[in-house]
């Protein structure tokens, strides 16, 4: 097992404190944080002090330091392109918080740069690592649902109801910096799962709402995706829900699955005798490292988790999400 030296590039994302805690608790003996960059000097200094790192407002300090193996990009989304392109050119392995771009165009530029650099990439889609998601991915691939006709994904919380973005995370509700409101922020996680399960989309449509209008952006939305394989899926996401019990549902001609209150329920002979939706299905195996853990594990041990996301996949999530927002604005079906 090797040790690595990394840098935080941007510390503005709401997940930054969690990532810092992960490194301090789980990777204390294998990951050293040398720098924390941020355009906001006070923020850089605050996070650097917590990590025992050096604060900087010049990303070139990181790109020019050969000791730094990888960068963890947690800046405001509209800053990703300007930061990631020199990091990729410097051959730094890259974890880029989701979404990787503010829109489809910069996401594609980022994907091209990372691809040309040939570095390890990962983004913050951690749902793939859940044991239930791994089980369903395999079941879909094995055809256990028969012909899949429809699916439903939902990722909602009460962020707008609780004022989660009133303070230092306010930029996440400013579409000029984040590229989206609540629908895109939370919806991108389940969008990743739907695309991972069912492939590319043909057309999409959506409806967005300002909800409580606390933040002046879309706080919730509902999308419909028609996949090239014939499956139709709905995607609900936003900051206006007090609970989100039904996370994912898959309906097919021979099988059915739903994740409800964190439990997986199945129906269909292909899943075995005695399996029914009357009780949770527990024979799902173990989860796998995902998100930042999968990235760091791959660098430290060389073992790549099946929950790693390719940079091309990450960019395509931006493409489809942009199409959903366009569809909502035009009240029409839009090509994905």
In order, the DSSP letters of 129-154 are GSHHHHHHHHHHHTTTTSSEEEEEEE
Range of the domain at 165: 127-287+310-335
**What is the pLDDT, as a whole number, of residue 320?**
98
Mean pLDDT of the chain: 97
Of 51, 60, 53, 55, the closest CA to residue 42 belongs to 55
Neighbouring C-alpha atoms within 13 Å toward the C-beta of 319: 17
User: Phi-psi region for residue 216, left (φ > 0), alpha (ψ -120 to 50) or beta?
Assistant: left
Looking at 85, 119, 153, which one is the last position of a domain? 119
Query: What number of other Cβ atoms are within 10 A of residue 103's Cβ?
Result: 18
**In terms of pTM, does the model score above 0.95?**
yes
CATH of the domain at 82: 3.40.50.720
Of 162, 136, 261, the closest CA to residue 215 belongs to 162
Using 50 as the pLDDT threshold, list the residues of the chain that sit under it: none
Structural domain includes residue 292: no
**Structural domains of the chain, count:** 2
Looking at 119, 148, 176, which one is the last position of a domain? 119
């Amino acid at each position: 097992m090797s040790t690595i030296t990394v840098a935080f590039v941007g510390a503005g994302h709401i997940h930054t404190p969690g990532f810092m805690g992960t490194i301090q608790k789980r990777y204390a003996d294998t990951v050293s944080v040398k720098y924390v960059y941020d355009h906001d000097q006070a923020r850089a200094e605050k996070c650097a002090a917590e990590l025992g790192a050096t604060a900087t407002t010049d990303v070139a300090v990181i790109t020019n330091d050969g000791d730094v193996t990888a960068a963890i990009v947690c800046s405001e989304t509209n800053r990703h392109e300007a930061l990631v392109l020199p990091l990729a050119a410097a051959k730094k392995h890259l974890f880029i918080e989701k979404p990787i771009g503010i829109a489809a165009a910069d996401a594609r530029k980022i994907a091209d740069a990372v691809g040309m650099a040939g570095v390890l990439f990962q983004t913050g889609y951690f749902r793939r690592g859940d044991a239930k998601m791994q089980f369903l991915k395999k079941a879909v691939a094995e055809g256990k649902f028969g012909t899949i006709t429809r699916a439903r994904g939902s990722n909602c919380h009460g962020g707008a109801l609780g004022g989660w973005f009133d303070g230092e995370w306010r930029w996440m509700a400013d579409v000029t910096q984040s590229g989206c409101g609540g629908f895109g922020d939370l919806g991108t996680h389940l969008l990743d799962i739907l695309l991972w399960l069912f492939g590319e989309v043909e057309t999409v449509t959506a409806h967005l709402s300002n909800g409580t209008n606390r933040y002046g952006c879309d706080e919730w939305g509902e999308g419909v995706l028609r996949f090239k394989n014939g499956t139709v899926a709905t995607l609900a996401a936003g900051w206006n829900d007090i609970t989100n019990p039904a996370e994912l549902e898959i309906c097919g001609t021979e099988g059915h699955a739903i994740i409800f209150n964190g439990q997986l329920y199945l129906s269909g002979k292909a899943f075995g005798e005695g399996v029914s939706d009357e009780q949770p299905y527990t024979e799902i195996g173990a989860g796998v490292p995902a998100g930042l853990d999968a990235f760091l594990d791959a660098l430290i041990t060389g073992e790549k988790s099946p929950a790693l996301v390719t940079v091309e996949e990450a960019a395509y999530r931006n493409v489809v999400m942009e199409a959903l927002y366009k569809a909502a604005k035009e009240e029409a079906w839009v090509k994905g």
